[in-house]
Amino acid sequence: MSNVQRRDVLIGSALAAAAVAAAKPALAGDPSFMNNVPDPLLAADDLPTFKFALEKSEGKVIGESSGKEATVKQLPISKGIAGVSMRLEPGAMRELHWHATAAEWAFVIEGGVRTTVIDPQGRAETNEFEPGDIWYFPRGHGHMLQCLGSQPCHFILIFDNGYFSEFGTFSITDWIGHAPKTLLAKNFGVPAATFDSFPKTEVYFARGAIAPAQPAPPLQGVNLPPQTHKYRLLAQEPHGVYKGGREWRVDASRFPISTTVTGVILDLDPGALRELHWHPNADEWQYVIDGRVSVTLFGSHGRFRVETLEKGDVGYIPQGYGHSIEMLAIRLRAS
């Protein structure tokens, strides 16, 4: 990465194992590095933990839909990037919302997802996603996420600010539910009684009938933005094929709207190693889709830490810190 205002996302797998990682330079979420101010957490004699058991955390659960997050609150080292594991049940929708302080990058693991995103000029795009697809929504762009079909969906969300919480977004029901009805009536040009049955608090996950096969047409007609928000990452040929692994990579050169995040799928064979390396201008956020990986972190002055990440765990590597990723061999039990 040559642009210090970029983040990266890495995703990797090995037979029955996979890891997701996103990397970002210290910027809006972590200005200390840019100002050459030592981070007390990283300046200690011992390196802090860089692992969090995301899928074992409580998160937010409504019905059979859930969102579990990893921010600096859950993983203090992760100041540059936050992440969420979200599952939607059939008929469920993450309601229309937006983020003022973070862009959103996503990777679909299971099921189908339909998204609609609206930019500040009122241009909108609706897309449908399958496993292996990604989306990117810039900061401040309103969007909704909807489960498609009769099976649940699961996707990983990456935010380019470690201090950002998915549970602190600007949701449309939260806004309308707390605005005076007289104000709403004047704003929308309808009687105040129109809002009598509207929710009084944030819905977050709206649950109802299974989404129709075809989305409803926009009320004002089709007005697409200049750049698409969708990219079919795993539908492409691997970026590189190596002894012991394969890599899919997508940055702004292939997905122009994704100006702050780069994504990588890393597919490792059992026992394979992503060799010792570092990112001079990007942090790395990791999510293990399946299997077990051993991740090392080197921080100078002999400081060295090894963590084992299992399915559903996340890891975080600060920019400039040496690290490696090793796929642990699968142990077979004799019958």
Q: Contact at 8 Å (CB) between 173 and 202?
A: yes
**DSSP-assigned states of every residue in 84-149:** EEEEE-TTEEEEEEE-SS--EEEEEEESEEEEEEE-TTS-EEEEEE-TTEEEEE-TT-EEEEEEES
CA dist list (Å): 331 to 266, 274, 288: 21, 20, 18
Q: Which residue has the tokens 């579990």?
A: 68
Task: Take residue 249 and report the two structure tokens written for it.
Answer: 């990579």
| Cα 174 to Cα 141: distance, rounded to the nearest angstrom | 17
Task: Take residue 314 and report the two structure tokens written for it.
Answer: 């996340």
User: Would you name the residues annotated as active-site residues?
Assistant: 94, 97, 99, 104, 143, 166
Task: Take residue 130 and report the two structure tokens written for it.
Answer: 């399958």
Task: Take residue 88 and report the two structure tokens written for it.
Answer: 């939607």
